[in-house]
Amino acid sequence: MDGACCGPGYASPAEAIQAPREKLLYTIAIYTGTGIQKPDYLATVDADPDSPTYSQVIHRLEMPGIGDELHHMGWNACSSCHDDSSMSRKYLLVPGVRSNNIHVVDTATDPRAPRLHKVIEGAEIKSKTNLSGPHTVHCLGSEIIISFLGDAKGEAPGGYLHMDKNFEIIGRWENSMGDIPFGYDFWYQPRHNVMVSSEWAAPNTFMPGFDLEEVGHLKYGRRLHIWDFEKREPIETMYLGEDGLIPLEVKFHHDPDSTHGFCGAALSANVIHFWKSETGDWRWEKIIDVENEPHPEWPIPIPGVMSAILVSMDDKYLYLNNWLHGDMRQYDITDPHNPKLTGQVWMGGLLKKAPQVNGVPVAGGPQMFQLSLDGKRLYVTTSLFSTWDNQFYPDIRTQGGVMVMIDCDVENGGMKINEDFIVDFGKEPNGPSRCHETRYPGGDCTSDIWL
């Protein structure tokens, strides 16, 4: 691939690491589930330490309707179309997991004040593709794939929406879902003709809240699925069993030649490492196991609830959260079979080891996080999903969420909460909101895939 190309993204992960520092963050802020009858919005946060409005929300783009439950988002273009000069990383796709609407946001015309470009109506998606519950957005060259967790009636397994670069619906991306019972996250590695997908549950199961009994009734996932990427169909399933209860986020190495990947199993609080062996078969192992912790008010020890993982752009570190315990962790994965814990910080959580950060009370625990391209700054937010938030952290309804920045030592390992940065979403103009996923205008560690 030509490093002098003028398409979006970067020629390689190494080039991405050299990119300019992020100065703006786009963060999902939601009122769904708070009792405040206002639209969810995309908050622009000033992340430039030399700016007078550093660590503040400087713009709010409200969605057209109420009750979207904005959740995860993704770019229209990434390094997968780096050699296509007709493409640019201009639009952020922001789906509402409850409304099924996909909001296409123009972040390029005025990066500090994004504007709504187009809305792809959930009703149109349901009628054309029989899908609901949008989740993960990935660009594929000039096209876009979005995983959906349910059919039009909210039952699993859902499937994948396929759109062209003008955000017109092509149809379903997959040719077959095989016998996959649930959908959630996915990541692809084109040089190996592979995609891996993970499992949560049907929207009708997880949306009302979490019921532990439903795990025993097999209403939550415990598998990873290997796909033939070109044929667009699943070819193999890895059954993770008790080691992989609710396997949510799945990430490959950024190195496009690598087959190593990782998945965080939320309820087991384990990290699963998977790879393609020299004999060509796919294997997996549990490499990190976070122990459940006793709690005086709980009948059972509390699981960590590892709802997210992230791999640094140089593939050296893996970051994970324990949403109920309240800690973020950094592991050196230079040897992916033998990770080493190199950093840990606390914020919020039910174990109450850090009920305040930088003077701000934290309702919730570390949940979504985004790493700077150079690996030095980790931005962490506290909301998981409105009904789950209200169940485990009732105070988040009235306190709102917070965003914290963690300084990461990329040379020796280590993490430290930055004392100069905190965004208190409890002080928003329309009342306390919660904050979820974060993206940067220049791409980030969960967007870019190299062909």
Please write the tens of the pLDDT for every residue from 220-246. 999 999 999 999 999 999 999 999 999
Angle at 399 between CA 398 and CA 403, to 5 degrees: 140
Tell me the backbone φ, ψ of residue 321, rounded to 5 degrees. Answer: -115, 155
In a domain, 232, yes or no: yes
The pLDDT value recorded for residue 100 is 98
In this structure, is the dihedral angle defined by the CA atoms of residues 387, 388, 391 and 395, taken in order, positive or negative? Answer: negative
In a domain, 6, yes or no: no
The pLDDT value recorded for residue 5 is 60
- Closest by CA position to 289, among listed 331, 259, 349, 250: 331
The pLDDT value recorded for residue 235 is 97
The pLDDT value recorded for residue 3 is 45
| Residue-range definition of the domain harbouring residue 258 | 13-439
Q: For 2-39, give one letter per residue: b (16+ CB within 10 A) or e.
A: eeeeebbbbbbbeebbebeebbbbbbbbbbbbbebebb
In a domain, 237, yes or no: yes
The CATH number of the domain holding residue 234 is 2.130.10.10
- Closest by CA position to 184, among listed 140, 143, 244: 244
3-class DSSP state of 206: helix
3-class DSSP state of 341: strand
In a domain, 248, yes or no: yes
Low-confidence residues of the chain: pLDDT under 70: 1-5
The pLDDT value recorded for residue 42 is 98
In a domain, 2, yes or no: no
Give how many domains the chain has, as a whole number.
Answer: 1
Angle at 314 between CA 238 and CA 288, to 5 degrees: 40
In a domain, 446, yes or no: no
In a domain, 300, yes or no: yes
In a domain, 447, yes or no: no
